[in-house]
């Protein structure tokens, strides 16, 4: 079997601007298990095997190392237009004066003149240091305030006007927050990045964004099986061990991870799996071009949603007595301050 995938064979998502985004990307959050150089080498491996969509963020701390790789692959003959590079605005940079410089810093680190997509990483403007414990609380934690978010968004729109980014998007949003943004935005979000795997399918938000011409990008598509202990709770489940996933994997003679990626691409979201191993990097990309799962298999996978959110966001809680569910507007309305 070939050790690479032809990028031309990878499906694409048509965004509302008419642009085409590869329907699978490569994640770059190394967390505790992969240092910056390891992630950068994984990105090199991903591009070598055929990925063209890379999901970066300033808070991952590795954009300079990834940038060195991006420069090299472009010098080696891959044109900038063939790549789809995403980055994200971190939570301590929501201030009106901070958005454009923050984007410029990512551009400089990544060695790019423009980003294909720039996301507001979280709707909460609460700084917390990378790697802090889920029980950590920021003294300057603040709730979601739509007027403040719109000030940030106006600056995101300026980035588009200035040609520094081709598309802007959101991440970790909810239906009520997106409704307000869609009402008030001059430049509509092209993408919403959200947690999506067979144990966390978010059907309501998934349908909402697609109905509004916003592409769902799915993070932790494998349920982030190697996330640090501090990010786990006893209730968490593992989609890779789900009997339905395991059985379908056995029938196709693939790893359960491959089933999760195939399901994601076929359902209509863009998964962004991360791996440091060439074998897994390639297997995940191949999953995007592998034969379709049957209708029965897709139905069985739709039936194993456990509403199990892995990335709960506890560090964004802004006052005592709250539970992490409050961050996700469980009553269909923005949780009051
Ligand atoms: N917008 C946001 O707020 C947000 C939040 C979280 C994540 N993200 C993005 O989403 C990306 C993916 O999330 P994630 O990295 O947490 O989780 P993930 O992609 O669900 O899982 C990654 C883990 O799965 C293992 N793995 C990958 N492919 C495999 C395969 N084929 N077989 C077996 N194991 C496999 C990897 O280990 P090995 O290295 O050993 O293969 C890695 O530790 C991140 O890197 C980041 O870019 C965004």
At CA 22, angle to CA 70 and CA 280, rounded to 5?
70
Predicted pLDDT at 119? 98
Predicted pLDDT at 319? 87
Predicted pLDDT at 117? 98
Q: What is the 3-state secondary structure (H, E, C) of the chain?
A: CCCCCCHHHCCEEECCCCCEEECCCEECCCCCCCCHHHHHHHHHHHHHHCCCEEECCHHHCCHHHHHHHHHHHHHCCCCHHHCEEEEEECHHHCCCCCHHHHHHHHHHHHCCCCEEEEEECCCCCCCCCCCCCCCCCCCCCCCCCHHHHHHHHHHHHHHHHCCCEEEEEEECCCHHHHHHHHHHCCCCCCEEEEECECCECCHHHHHHHHHCCCEEEEECCCCCCCCCHHHCCCCCCCHHHCHHHHHHHHHHCCCHHHHHHHHHHHHCCEECCCCCCHHHHHHHHHHHHCCCCCHHHHHHHHCCCCCCCCCCCHHHCCCCCCCHHHHHCCCCCCCCC
Give every residue of the chain whose pLDDT is below 50, as ranges: none
Contacts of 290 (CB under 8 A, 6+ apart): 252, 254, 258, 262
Ligand 1 atom with the smallest distance to the CA of 279 is 31
Predicted pLDDT at 11? 98
CA of 258 from ligand 1 middle (Å) equals: 12
Predicted TM-score of the model (pTM): 0.97
Predicted pLDDT at 154? 98
Q: Is the CB of 255 under 6 A from ligand 1?
A: yes
Beta bridge pairs of residue 22: 12
Q: Is the CB of 198 under 6 A from ligand 1?
A: no
Predicted pLDDT at 320? 86
Q: Is the CB of 63 under 6 A from ligand 1?
A: no
50 contacts 82 by C-beta, under 8 angstroms: no
Predicted pLDDT at 254? 97
Q: What is the 3-state secondary structure (H, E, C) of 152-163?
A: HHHHHHHHHHCC
192-217 pLDDT, tens digit per residue, is 999 999 999 999 999 999 999 999 99
**Residues noted as catalytic:** 60
CA of 158 from ligand 1 middle (Å) equals: 32
């Amino acid at each position: 079997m070939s050790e690479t995938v032809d990028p031309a064979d990878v499906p694409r998502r048509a965004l509302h601007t008419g642009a085409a985004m590869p329907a699978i990307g490569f994640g770059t959050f190394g967390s505790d298990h992969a240092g910056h150089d390891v992630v950068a080498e994984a990105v090199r491996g991903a591009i070598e095997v055929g990925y063209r969509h890379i999901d970066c963020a300033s808070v991952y701390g590795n954009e300079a190392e990834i940038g060195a790789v991006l420069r090299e692959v472009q010098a080696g003959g891959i044109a900038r237009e063939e790549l789809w590079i995403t980055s994200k605005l971190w939570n301590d940079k929501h201030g009106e004066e901070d958005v454009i410089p923050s984007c410029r810093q990512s551009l400089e680190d990544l060695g790019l003149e423009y980003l294909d997509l720039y996301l507001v990483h979280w709707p909460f403007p609460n700084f917390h240091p990378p790697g802090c414990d889920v029980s950590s609380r920021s003294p300057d934690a603040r709730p979601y305030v739509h007027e403040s978010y719109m000030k940030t968004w106006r600056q995101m729109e300026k980035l588009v006007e200035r040609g520094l980014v081709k598309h802007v998007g959101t991440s970790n949003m909810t239906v009520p927050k997106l409704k307000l943004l869609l009402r008030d935005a001059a430049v509509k979000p092209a993408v919403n990045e959200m947690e999506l795997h067979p144990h966390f399918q978010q059907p309501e938000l998934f349908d909402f964004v697609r109905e509004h011409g916003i592409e769902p990008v799915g993070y932790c598509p494998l349920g982030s099986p190697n996330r640090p202990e501090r990010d786990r709770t006893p209730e968490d489940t593992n989609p890779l061990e789900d009997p339905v996933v395991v059985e379908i994997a056995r029938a196709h003679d693939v790893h359960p991870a491959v089933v999760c990626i195939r399901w994601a691409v076929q359902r209509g979201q863009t998964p962004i799996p991360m791996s440091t191993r060439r074998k897994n990097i390639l297997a995940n990309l191949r999953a995007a071009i592998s034969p379709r799962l049957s209708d029965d298999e897709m139905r069985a996978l739709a039936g194993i949603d456990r509403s199990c959110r892995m990335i709960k966001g506890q560090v964004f809680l802004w006052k005592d007595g709250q539970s992490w569910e409050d961050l996700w507007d469980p009553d269909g309305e923005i949780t009051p301050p």
